[in-house]
Structure 1
Amino acid sequence: MNKPYKIPESVLVVIHTADLDVLLIERADKTGYWQSVTGSKDSLDEPFVETAVREVFEETGIVVSDAPGAVPLHHLTDWHLSNIYEIYPVWRHRYAPGVTKNTEHVFGLLVPRTIPITLAPREHVDHIWLPYREAADKCFSPSNAEAVLQLPKYLRRP
């Protein structure tokens, strides 16, 4: 059975603390490639906020909802920013033939620094908290680095 092609619309979620520390996760398929949470929509009609909530949970184990014990949904902020970028050639096989660009929608997620992180081992092998400028320097993706640098502008304190 063939795996369906990825939808070239995704989210980038900058997970951060009130003190501007940013969570980065290291890709399992590319050693040294550090990033924020990213992921494509599962269906064309999936709202971006749902994509963000799902990807945060899948990649970090962080639950975002209004349920007790979860990170409140209002801590997830749509920055109303989007980036269109060239999909790296190494990952183009995941998309339909001829698809070379992706549109990424940026969100921020305010969490406590002590929140437990449970990585999806097939996707990520390590995580680190860094001050936002250092985190931006460590991101392999220019659009991810730029989003992290925008954090002070979009910081929403509880």
Structure 2
Amino acid sequence: MANTYTQIYVHTVFAVQNWNALILPSWEEDLYKYITGIVQNKGQKMLAINGTTNHIHFFIGMKPTCCLSDLVREIKKSSGTFIKEKKFTSSTFQWQEGFGAFSYSHSQLTDVIQYINNQKEHHRKQTFRDEYLAFLKAFDVEFKDEYLFEWI
């Protein structure tokens, strides 16, 4: 797009269906590399990706031609298939419906990247549910409890 200049940074979060702790340390790096490949193949820039056994955070530099919902749908679909094909888990693997997405300014890049890179340490002190609700409140996102992730 000629004469189009943007700086769009989006932090996206989604979870494993039923909060099952299925993302194991033995293969999570393969999953993150796979998801990074999807992001890059769609012309976006992966800035950070990490998570725990039951959810993932990723942070991208996004072009204005990208539809975030389509990107997340593709990531969930393709990575779910990847996990099944690689037989990383004997349990049925599925991502929960929906996701959270939060935008940041260029001056916040380092802090957000560090936050995502420190997910495992962070979640020793705070549950994902509490973290997610804090994001929604901090970004002043209106929500209804019945439409949040299925908390078990």
Report if TM-score (shorter chain) is over 0.5.
Answer: no
- Greater helix content: 2
- Greater strand content: 1
TM-score by length of 1: 0.34
TM-score by length of 2: 0.35
